[in-house]
């Protein structure tokens, strides 16, 4: 799994072709996305202000992990839907496998816990995942890079910006913090 995630992070088009064709590799994709979810949850736990008691911290970790998994599904759906409009015949499962393995750079989210460089590392990881998944969309759906960039960016925005704000925003912008 780790070797495939590294190959995908290095934009090796052969790994995307392999994941498109071999359904049994779905566990590698699930594992890679899960590792990214765990690293995000751990990073949030150790870099965000305390949300209160132990249960609230556990809840934040669980929501962060779930957000990555749901974001992966949304991104895969957006890619499949838009690429099918352009004539692609790749299935949703194929897209899920190839976008999932493209989350390989997500393990580096752990480095966001380093003071002062954390936000820069997070930005680099976000862009790296965007590039990796866009390449996966291009190879999986056999579309041009420009066409792959459209669902790549839309899916990335939904999965890594909008969804986390909606799902995790309550932990950081609760009504008690706003003086209500």
Tokens 């790749």 belong to residue = 90
| CA gap 80, 171 in Å, rounded | 32
Least confident of 5-9, 89-93, 145-149: 5-9
pTM of the model: 0.87
| CA gap 177, 180 in Å, rounded | 8
Query: Tens digits of per-residue pLDDT, 41-91?
Result: 889 888 877 656 677 778 878 888 999 999 999 999 999 999 999 999 999
């Amino acid at each position: 799994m780790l070797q495939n995630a590294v190959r995908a992070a290095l934009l090796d088009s052969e790994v995307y072709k392999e994941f498109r064709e071999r359904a049994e590799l779905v566990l590698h994709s699930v594992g890679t996305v899960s590792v990214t979810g765990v690293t995000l949850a751990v990073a949030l736990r150790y870099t965000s202000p305390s949300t209160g008691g132990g249960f609230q911290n556990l809840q934040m970790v669980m929501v962060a992990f779930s957000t990555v998994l749901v974001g992966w599904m949304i991104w895969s759906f957006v890619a499949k839907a838009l690429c099918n409009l352009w004539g692609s015949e790749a299935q949703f499962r194929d897209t899920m496998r190839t976008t999932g393995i493209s989350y390989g750079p997500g393990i580096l989210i752990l480095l966001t816990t380093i003071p002062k460089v954390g936000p820069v590392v997070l930005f680099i990881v976000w862009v790296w995942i965007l590039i990796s998944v866009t390449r996966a969309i291009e190879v999986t759906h056999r579309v041009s890079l420009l066409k792959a960039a459209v669902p790549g960016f839309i899916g990335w925005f939904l999965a890594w910006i909008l969804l986390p704000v909606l799902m995790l925003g309550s932990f950081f912008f609760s009504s008690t913090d706003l003086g209500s």
